[in-house]
Amino acid sequence: MKNTLVIIPTYNESENIVHIISSVFNSLPHCHVLIIDDNSPDGTSNLVNKMIKQNGKNLFIIERENKTGLGVAYVEGFHWAINKKYDFIFEMDADFSHDPACLPNMVNALTKNSDVIIGSRYIRGVNVLNWPLGRILISYFASKYVRLITGLPVKDPTAGYVGYKRKVLENIDLDEIQFVGYAFQIEMKYKSWKKNFRLTEYPIIFKNREKGESKMDKSIFWEAIIGVIKMRFIKFK
């Protein structure tokens, strides 16, 4: 759909970027794709710019000077999307952990009764491939922890495969978003819910990356643990 934007933040994703962009367009031919690259030293942005020059009327890139976190990149992308008047705005990882083939059904959900559609690993059991058992357990019980502390009625609150109607992003003060990692994903869903928007989960199978290096570290994990408690006391206008 030409009113749909898929935002893909990147840092050192040269092994995945061409394939993921092609796969998104194959799944949703008339969508637009925005790459937000945090000055990747591996040449990720060069590959994107080459695709734009070859046949990239629906492909765009923002090249940032510094690596300042996932949340900061997405907020910049959200502002860009709002200014361009896209109806549906999606978050997606570059490493194929989020299957582009799910996009048509997720877009369809936004055209019907959802304001926020969440690609959920836990709405139907546990659907994660190629993760160590310890990481699965941490992720699964972290989701339960978030629901317990915040009351957020979502089984996968840290999910990063998410689509928003533009009105949701317009009604959240994006410049007041406090977190950058997993906590950013929780904060966006929590604020959407507190604004009385309709959140729906769509079952996906999450696959661990096969190429490139994970950007996950302990600081992101602890930000989420502490951030959830802070979120509980956020006041909404």
Domain locations along the chain: 4-231
Higher-confidence residue of 212 and 112: namely: 112
Assess whether pLDDT exceeds 90 at residue 225.
Answer: no
Task: Reduce the DSSP state of residue 149 to 3 states and report it.
Answer: helix
Which residues does residue 163 pair with via DSSP β-bridges, in sequence order? 90, 117
* pLDDT-above-70 percentage for the chain: 88
CA dist 184 and 146 (Å) reads 13
Q: In Å, what is the CA distance from 127 to each residue of 7, 24, 44, 160?
A: 23, 21, 29, 14
Length of the chain: 237
Assess whether pLDDT exceeds 60 at residue 218.
Answer: no
CA dist 29 and 51 (Å) reads 15
Chain segment 130-153, per-residue pLDDT in tens = 777 877 777 777 888 888 888 899
Contact 37/8 with Cβ under 8 angstroms? Answer: no
User: What pLDDT does 134 receive?
Assistant: 73
CA dist 146 and 188 (Å) reads 13
- The answer to whether the pTM exceeds 0.85 is yes
User: What pLDDT does 165 receive?
Assistant: 97
User: What pLDDT does 235 receive?
Assistant: 59
Chain segment 88-109, per-residue pLDDT in tens = 999 999 999 999 999 999 999 9
> Interior CA angle at 181 toward 196 and 64, to 5°?
105
Average pLDDT over residues 12-40: 96
CATH architecture designation of domain 4-231: Alpha-Beta Complex (3.90)
- pLDDT band at 128, cuts 50/70/90? confident
Q: In Å, what is the CA distance from 121 to each residue of 61, 149, 164?
A: 29, 20, 18
Higher-confidence residue of 118 and 2: namely: 118
SS3 letters for 91-135? ECCCCCCCCHHHHHHHHHHHHCCCCEEEEECCCCCCCEECCCHHH
